[in-house]
A and B are shown apart, each in its own frame.
Chain A
Amino acid sequence: MEFEKVISGKNIEKDYKSFKLNVPELNIPKGFATALIGENGAGKTTLLNILAGIRTDYKGELTYFGKYSDKDRESNPVVKEMIGYTGTDNYYLPHWTVEGVEELTSLLFDNFDKALFRKNYEDLAISADGSFEGGKKVSELSDGTKIKLVLASVLARDTDLLIMDEPASPLDPLMRDKLNDLIRTYLTEKEGRSVFFSTHNILDMESVTDYAIIMEHGEVVETGFVEDLKEKYILVKGELADIEKAKDILYTVSTNKYGFEGICLAENLDKLAGMDVTTETATLFQISVAIMKKNTRVK
Chain B
Amino acid sequence: MRISQTSGVPIYQQIADFFRSEIMSGKYKNGEYLPSIRELAKDLKISVITTMKAYEQLETEGYVTAVQGKGFYVNAQDSDMLKEQHLRKVEDALTEAIKYADIAGMTERELKETLSTLLNMKGL
Contacts and interface: CB of A to CB of B under 8 A. Distances in A.
A225 B36 CA distance: 19
A122 to B, nearest CB: 20
Contacts of B26: none
Interface of B: 8, 10, 12, 36, 38-39, 41-42, 45-50, 52-53, 69
Contact of B48 (A180, A210, A281): A210
Given A184-B38, A184-B41, A33 B53 contact: no
B48 A32 contact: yes
12 contacts: A181-B42, A187-B38, A187-B41, A188-B39, A207-B45, A210-B48, A210-B49, A225-B49, A227-B12, A227-B50, A281-B8, A281-B10
A185 interface: yes
Nearest to B42: A184
Contacts of A211: 49
B38 A188 contact: yes
Given A208-B47, A280-B8, 19 more contacts: A31-B48, A33-B47, A33-B48, A180-B45, A181-B42, A184-B38, A184-B42, A184-B45, A188-B39, A188-B41, A191-B69, A207-B45, A210-B47, A210-B48, A210-B49, A225-B49, A227-B49, A227-B50, A281-B10
Nearest to B40: A188
Contacts of A184: 38, 41-42, 45, 48
Contact of B47 (A185, A209, A280): A209
Interface residues of A, number: 22
